[in-house]
Amino acid sequence: MKKNHSIKIPLRNNPYEVIIGKNIINKYKKKIFVTIKNAKRIFIITDTTIKKLHLKKITQIIPKNFFVKTLVINPGEKMKDIKTVNKILTILLKNKISRNDAVFALGGGVIGDVSGFLASITLRGINLIHFPTTLLAQVDSSIGGKTGVNSLYGKNLIGTFYQPNLVICDTIFLSTLPRRELIAGYAEVIKYGIIYDKNFFNWLNNNINKLLKNDSFQMIRAIKRSVEIKKEFIIKDEKDLNNKRALLNFGHTFAHSLENCTKYSKILLHGEAVSIGICMASKLSNRLGFLSLNNYLKIKNIFYNFGLPIDLEFLKKIKIQKKQIVNNMIYDKKNLSGKLNFILCKDIGSAFVYNKVKKESIKKSIN
């Protein structure tokens, strides 16, 4: 098997490449600068943790003739808000950013979502290259062009669709990722198996130990297949208009509500919320007669065996009421005309949108 992989995302107006491999930043230096060939200024957006660990890997490949400014925010979901965007935007404009210039997003999903949103609104759109540093960002958030920040009313409610020019998934970044963050990233990887690819689900199930031991070969394989699957959904429905891309949100209606209940704090990471959310959505699918009990249990078990939380037991120290979880769902972006739009699954490898779910059934799936 090849060491590095290039996956083309062939969108009509914004085609781009996702490159996956280990220690690849230097190797793809030329491609990076050809992609932004008219840029004179590069604004690197990162957080304090990643700056210490990985910033040099990026700055050392930038030719001397570029103006480079690094903008560093504190880590964490709480920074993903409009205030952060406004602060950085002011600095970009003060430094006379032009439309040919580029933002380099060096970080996890928070940095990627903030940077993508910024890149989309600055001068109505500037170049954007993602260097995702978490597993979750490499398999999910850096691909597909969803950008945005949270609001008091819920997660990702302020945002745009804006595709990057290039994504470099270098697994060397993952060597410093805390174990809890790494495991959280696997929630989205497992999701791809459940919604689209039963063989991938089974492969993940059979390789849990190797993946959790950071076996580079298997990790790259998992990232590559995840990106390929996400690509299938994006090319069919780039802007989430025909219910195809919505399937990527399997479990996320519950997850986003739980994150809101925990106030986007470290108590519950996004991937952990997705893991619990998928178990709840699978239980709901089973309750409504779509998913067999055997498959529901298989789904719960794979998350459990990866070391991910599968129910509210994980949050027992804080009191969350079922009513609150359900009420938060009203703000979910997937809802149309007041109806709760749910993603359910009927088999491992097959998901669909369903809008006839009653509040009582939702409540009974929360445990």
Ligand X SMILES: NC(=O)c1ccc[n+]([C@@H]2O[C@H](COP(=O)([O-])OP(=O)(O)OC[C@H]3O[C@@H](n4cnc5c(N)ncnc54)[C@H](O)[C@@H]3O)[C@@H](O)[C@H]2O)c1
- Does the footprint of ligand X cover residue 50 (CB under 6 A)? yes
- Does the footprint of ligand X cover residue 270 (CB under 6 A)? yes
By beta-carbon proximity to ligand X, the closer residue of 134 and 341 is 134
How far, in Å, CA of 234 to CA of 162, rounded? 12
CB of residue 156 vs ligand X: minimum separation in angstroms? 6
- Does the footprint of ligand X cover residue 272 (CB under 6 A)? no
Question: Strand, coil or helix: what is 168?
Answer: strand
Binding region for ligand X (CB under 6 A) out of 6-14, 122-130, 170-178, 318-326: 170-178
How far, in Å, CA of 163 to CA of 235, rounded? 12
What residue is closest to ligand X based on CB? Answer: 109
By beta-carbon proximity to ligand X, the closer residue of 134 and 295 is 134
At 342, the amino acid letter reads F
84, 73 Cβ separation under 8 angstroms: yes
Which residue among 47, 197, 272, 332 contacts ligand X (CB under 6 A)? 47
Which residue among 21, 144, 164, 277 contacts ligand X (CB under 6 A)? 144
Q: Which residue is listed with tokens 């090849």?
A: 2
The dihedrals phi and psi of 151, each to the nearest 5 degrees, come to -130, 170
- Beta partners for 151? 154
The dihedrals phi and psi of 158, each to the nearest 5 degrees, come to -115, 115
- Does the footprint of ligand X cover residue 115 (CB under 6 A)? no
By beta-carbon proximity to ligand X, the closer residue of 260 and 295 is 260
Binding region for ligand X (CB under 6 A) out of 110-118, 205-213, 283-291, 321-329: 110-118
106, 75 Cβ separation under 8 angstroms: no
- Does the footprint of ligand X cover residue 214 (CB under 6 A)? no
Count of chain residues binding ligand X (CB under 6 A): 30
282, 360 Cβ separation under 8 angstroms: no
233, 305 Cβ separation under 8 angstroms: no
Interface residues toward ligand X, by CB under 6 A: 47, 49-50, 53, 75-77, 80, 107-111, 113, 133-134, 136-137, 140-141, 144, 146, 156, 173, 176-177, 181, 184, 270-271
